A and B are shown apart, each in its own frame.
Chain A
Amino acid sequence: MRSHRRRKQIATAKMAEEQKESSQGEMEGVNCLAYDEAIIAQQDRIQQEIANSNPLVSDRQDLSVLQREYAEDDTVYQLKIKDLYKKYSYIRKTRPDGNCFYRAFGFAHLESLLDDSKELQKFKAVAAKSKLDLVNEGFTEFTIEDFHNTFMDLIELCEKQPSLQELLNSFNDQNVSDYVVVYLRLLTSGYLQREHVFFQHFIEGGRSVKEFCQQEVEPMSKESDHIHIIALAQALNVSILVEYMDRGEGGTVNHHVFPEGGDPRIFLLYRPGHYDILYK
């Protein structure tokens, strides 16, 4: 009797054990599949949220919006914003999506050329020739063509002296805007590779300039550093001033002109990880 009961108990325990095992196996499989999807879905949600609350390029706003972004007792930033006030009055924000430098540069430069047709023509010539330089460097013509055409279309739009709103609309059209970003990335990459002997010294991690370009310049959403800015400024022969605002002590905002000694027409505000456009 007792042994019978024992056997039964064992059998039940065995069954429970088996059941547990198999359900665990299934759960694990489903979890694996669901895991990546969950991450991707979350990333998409975050991207979407950022997109909903930030246009690709915003309207021009009074610099006071910056002041409201930081707590009143955040003395480091409040002092630096006061310092910015001495030189600038307005700000135009860009979407923080990793492409902000290129978008800010692209928009600010074309905007500055709207009422300077002589400079615009000069820039158009440089831009028109740039595709050939890239092709000569080994970029495939039929793949970079669309990006170049979009970029040239925008320059031609500027020739027609459109309203600022029209330019802004183009830069807020995701297709157009992203294609411009791709082309500016290609120009940056092309210049870095052309001058690879010089730039090799500034690349960390034992990578070649080519590898650096393929990992940090050409893919979308890769953030930009000094080296990208220098390369793009020189590739297009445009001077860029960047104001650096971070948690560093001192109460003043430091700036840097790319390339050094230039006469900048474009003013960007850098806060760690992000670029916006400044106006005097």
Chain B
Amino acid sequence: MENKYNLRSPAVKRLMKEAAELRDPTEHYHAQPLEDNLFEWHFSVRGPPDSDFDGGVYHGRIILPPEYPMKPPSIILLTPNGRFEVGKKICLSISGHHPETWQPSWSIRTALIAIIGFMPTKGEGAIGSLDYTPEERRTLAKKRSLEFCCETCGCTMHSALLALSHNSNTSPQDHKAKELAQQINFKAESSSSRQPVENGSEDRTSTLTQADNSTSAGQKSSFVSQAGEAQMPPATVVEEPQIHTATSSTCPLSPRQRHTQQHTQHAQHDQRDGPEPTVSIVALTPTPQQPQDRSHAGSAVLIVVLTLALATLIFRRIYLAHEFDYDL
């Protein structure tokens, strides 16, 4: 690897150092660059104890910008977890009230600890966030997450981290993770700016996220093409290691389906309330049929009402025309 990169580049210098620092797995996290790309890393983190993610180990990618560490890394989770959408870039950049708080003295380790600390926090309807039920999350954590095996870096979650020793449950690590999570906010790439949401959440984040054009362009097209076929299994992403994770059968709604659903509701919401970009909180129930039916019923009622109104107008028109005729 040493020959391939310009060692005078600050990012390369720094990443080499971080790779050495994080070489050995710890009980809570492990991350290493891909063999052929210093700017893409794969990581595994242990779900925080005393949460629904207890017992789970989660895998993902970290993309480093060329300006790293002056610009923050982006993180993509690959293991279904019920908190973050799988395969979607979440940017580690903005804290609720104070934007742009990435600090160059933070590192990949900081990002990993922050992810751990951030898992038990609420998704609150932000795009890229999921609010699965605690049961679903526990199932994903205990049963499914450990079966995950990454095709790209070839590591399995069973053996990715050091075994947990008993006295480490309330380590300073956890404390730090929580502290960091309060400070950092994870944002989905290209999420819309949103107003305070209905449950009175105080999160008024302006969402200026780091854009990676290629990925978001891909997302755009996939959204459009999938909009009409939300019931299809989302096996359309090629070359991405998350394919086999997304098609899981125990996971009732795939992230992409939920995404589509969110947008459907989103559009409806806007029709009623005007063109301001709002994201409504979607009740994510475990059965995929229900919300779809509900949204269809809503549009059907709307169509019927509008049709009737139109019909009344037409009739009135015809009636008036005839009256006119008679007068002549």
Q: Which residues of A contact B106 (CB under 8 A)?
A: 143
8 Å CB contact of A220 from B104, B208, B224, B302? B104
Q: With the chains together, A276 CA to B77 CA distance in Å?
A: 45
> DSSP class of B's interface residues: helix, strand, loop or mixed?
helix
**Chain B residues, CB < 8 A from A51:** none
Shortest Cβ gap from B203 to chain A (Å): 16
A31 cross-chain contacts in B, Cβ below 8 A: 192, 277
A147 touches B310 (CB 8 A): no
Give A10 to B190 CA distance when docked, in angstroms.
Answer: 39
Of listed A140, A144, A221, residue having the most chain B CB within 10 A? A140
Chain A residues, CB < 8 A from B311? 6, 10
CB distance from B233 to the nearest CB of A (A): 21
Choose from B105, B107, B191 the contact partner of A32 (Cβ within 8 Å). B191
In the complex, the answer to whether A36 meets B307 with C-beta atoms within 8 Å is no
Chain A's closest residue to B279 (CB) is A32
B100→A221 contact, CB < 8 A: yes
CA distance A22 to B303 in the complex (A): 12
Given contacts A143-B106, A214-B103, A214-B183, contact A35 B98 (CB under 8 A): no
A182: Cβ under 8 A from any B Cβ: yes
Q: How far is the CB of A98 from chain B (nearest CB, A)?
A: 10
- The reply to whether A29 and B263 form a contact with Cβ atoms under 8 Å apart is yes
- Asked if A139 is at the interface of the complex by the 8 Å CB criterion, the answer is yes
Kindly identify, within residues 209 to 227 of chain A, every residue whose CB is under 8 Å from any CB belonging to chain B: 211, 214-215, 218-222
**A28 with B267: CB separation less than 8 A:** yes
Residues of the B chain whose Cβ atoms lie less than 8 Å from the Cβ of A36: 190-193, 207-209, 211
Cβ of B105 and Cβ of A6 under 8 Å apart? no
Is the pair B70, A25 in contact by a Cβ cutoff of 8 Å? no
Assuming the contacts A28-B266, A215-B95, A215-B101, asked whether A35 and B277 have C-beta atoms less than 8 A apart, the reply is: yes
Flag whether B169 is at the interface (Cβ < 8 A).
no
Q: Does B316 interact with chain A (Cβ within 8 Å)?
A: no
One digit per residue, 1 when the CB lies within 8 angstroms of any chain A CB and 0 when it does not, for chain B 61-102 equals 000000001100000000000000000000000010010111
Task: Determine the chain A residues whose CB is within 8 A of the CB of B104 once the complex forms.
Answer: 143, 147, 182, 218, 220
B157-177 interface (Cβ within 8 A of A)? none
Are A10 and B103 touching (Cβ within 8 A)?
no
Interfacial chain A residues near B216, Cβ < 8 Å:
33, 37
- Among B179-202, those with CB < 8 Å from A are 183, 190-193
Are the CB atoms of A219 and B102 closer together than 8 Å? yes
Residue of B nearest to A149 (CB): B13
Whether the Cβ atoms of A29 and B105 lie closer than 8 Å is no
Expressed in whole angstroms, the Cα–Cα distance for A14 and B305 within the complex equals 10
- The answer to whether residues A14 and B307 also contact, given A219-B100, A219-B101 and a CB cut-off of 8 A, is yes
- The stretch among B14-22, B115-123, B250-258 that forms the contact with chain A is B14-22
Measured as residues with beta carbon below 8 angstroms from the partner, the interface class of chain B is: 35 or more
Please, which residues of chain A bring their CB within 8 A of the CB of B10? 146, 175, 179
Tell me the nearest residue of chain B to A139, going by C-beta: B105
Given A29-B266, A218-B103, decide whether A13 and B307 contact each other with a Cβ distance below 8 A: yes
B208 touches A33 (CB 8 A): no
Q: Judging by beta carbons under 8 Å apart, are A182 and B264 in contact? A: no
**Is A43 part of the contact surface with B, judged by Cβ < 8 Å?**
yes
- The CA-CA distance from A2 to B321 in the complex, in Å, is 13
Least Cβ distance of A255 to chain B in Å? 31
Q: How many residues of A contact B (CB 8 A)?
A: 47
Question: Which residue of the partner chain B has the closest CB to A150?
Answer: B10
A278 CB, nearest partner CB in chain B, Å: 29
- A260 at interface by CB-CB < 8 Å: no
CB of B24 within 8 Å of the partner chain: no
Contacts of B277 in A (CB 8 A): 28, 31-32, 35
Q: Is B306 an interface residue, CB under 8 A from the partner?
A: yes
From B194, which residue of chain A is reached at the shortest CB distance?
Answer: A32
Would you call A215 and B98 a contact (CB within 8 A)?
Answer: yes
- Evaluate whether A218 and B227 lie within 8 angstroms (CB atoms) in the complex, with A17-B306, A37-B211 already known: no
**CB <8 Å contact, A142 and B208:** no
Provide the residues of chain B in CB contact with A243, threshold 8 Å. none
Give the complex CA separation of A18 and B191 in angstroms: 26
**A9 contacts B by Cβ under 8 Å:** yes
How far is the CB of A148 from the nearest CB of chain B, in Å? 10
How far is it, in angstroms, between the C-alpha of A208 and the C-alpha of B70 when the chains are bound? 25
Point out the residue from A2, A21, A186 that lies within 8 Å of B105, measured CB to CB.
A186
Once the chains bind, are B318 and A142 in contact (CB under 8 Å)?
no
Q: Mark B285-315, 1 if CB is under 8 A from A, else 0.
A: 0000000000000010011001100110011
Q: In the complex the two chains form, is B224's CB within 8 Å of A40's CB?
A: no
- Is there a chain B Cβ closer than 8 Å to A49's Cβ? no
From A26, A37, A211, give the contact of B227 (CB < 8 A).
A26
Report the separation of the CA atoms of residues A29 and B213 in the bound assembly, to the nearest whole angstrom. Answer: 16
List residues of chain A with CB within 8 A of the CB of B143: none
Knowing A36-B190, A215-B98, the reply to whether A25 touches B220 (Cβ < 8 A) is no
**A and B contact pairs by CB, cutoff 8 A, 17 listed:** A2-B318, A10-B311, A25-B227, A25-B263, A28-B270, A32-B192, A35-B277, A36-B193, A36-B211, A41-B211, A140-B105, A142-B21, A143-B14, A143-B107, A178-B70, A214-B183, A222-B100
A-side residues, CB < 8 A to B, are: 2, 6, 9-10, 13-14, 17-18, 21-22, 24-26, 28-33, 35-37, 39-41, 43, 139-140, 142-147, 175, 178-179, 182, 186, 211, 214-215, 218-222
Beyond A22-B227, A175-B10, 5 additional pairs, beta carbon < 8 A: A10-B314, A21-B271, A40-B209, A140-B107, A142-B21
Please give me the 7 A-B residue pairs with the lowest Cβ-Cβ distance, nearest first. Answer: A25-B267, A32-B192, A215-B98, A218-B103, A33-B190, A182-B104, A143-B107
